Amino acid sequence: MNLQVIDRYVDPLVGHLKSMLSYRKFRKGLKNDVDELLRAEKAENPMRIVYSFGISHEHPGTFILSYIRSTNPHHEYVGLYPKGFRFRKRDFDNIDRLVSYFQKNIDKPPPDAGPSMQNVSCRKYLDMKQQENARHEKIWYVQQLARECGIEETNGQLWFAVHRITKDDDSMEFFIGTSTHEGRLAFIEQYAKVNN
């Protein structure tokens, strides 16, 4: 891939993606799950317009802005671009400006309800990066749990068993789901014996 393409297109996309995923009003989960969180927040603050961002599972590669003015949740799409975010056919270089515009214009109807992503390759790239990041986080978590049960990186045989566990999704899920340090240690030791 051309370095200019990475510098001008990919790196800015990844930067904006990270800023959205770490935004204080970003919520994980499906649209219905986020709607329930908003309903609970609205019940606690009936006079406030509650909102949050999430990932649009219906339109991969886009985000969704969910909000409740009175009782029913509303949803609008937010596109991700190298120069920032697109919302209601307007471009914003950061999330705070988008939120400010949204809050000032909440009563105006959205220009259209469709997703605002440019192309399929961008969607595929974002999906791939999201899956890759989730896998890296899970691997890091397995390593952390292994350290907590006494495995040291200097123990080549057992640390390599930890590495092998991260290569198998079922083993990784089983390891994470094991509730005690002793159980995890026994699993690693057995894994090292069986897979030698």
Distance CA 3, CA 10 (A): 10
The token pair at 76 is 């609008």
Q: 42 with 50: CB under 8 angstroms?
A: yes
Strand locations in 44-191 (E): 50-55, 63-68, 73-81, 84-87, 90-92
Please say if the pLDDT value at position 147 is more than 60: yes
Q: What is the pLDDT of residues 77-123, one digit of tens each?
A: 998 888 888 999 889 989 999 999 999 988 887 776 445 444 455 66
CATH architecture, domain 3-118: 2-Layer Sandwich (3.30)
Which of 5-9, 10-14, 139-143, 185-189 shows the lowest per-residue confidence on average (mean pLDDT)? 5-9
Q: What is the pLDDT of residue 122?
A: 64
The C-alpha torsion from 102 through 104 and 109 to 111, rounded to 10°, is -60
Q: Which single residue is written with the structure tokens 């057995």?
A: 190
Give Cβ neighbours of residue 147 (< 8 Å, ≥ 6 apart).
Answer: 153
Q: What is the pLDDT of residue 61?
A: 76
The token pair at 24 is 């204080």
Q: What is the pLDDT of residues 10-52, one digit of tens each?
A: 778 788 888 888 899 999 888 888 999 999 999 998 888 899 9
Please say if the pLDDT value at position 59 is more than 70: yes
Task: Count Cβ atoms within 10 A of the Cβ of residue 14 and give its class: 0-12 exposed, 13-18 middle, 19 or more buried.
Answer: middle
Domains of the chain, by residue range, sit at 3-118, 123-194
Provide mean pLDDT across the span 124-136: 77
Q: 93 with 84: CB under 8 angstroms?
A: yes
Please say if the pLDDT value at position 1 is more than 50: no
Distance CA 84, CA 63 (A): 12
Provide mean pLDDT across the span 141-167: 90
pLDDT averaged over the chain? 83
Write down the number of H helices and E strands in the chain: 8, 5
Instruction: Output the pTM of the full model.
Output: 0.54
Question: How much of the chain, in percent, has pLDDT values that exceed 70?
Answer: 87
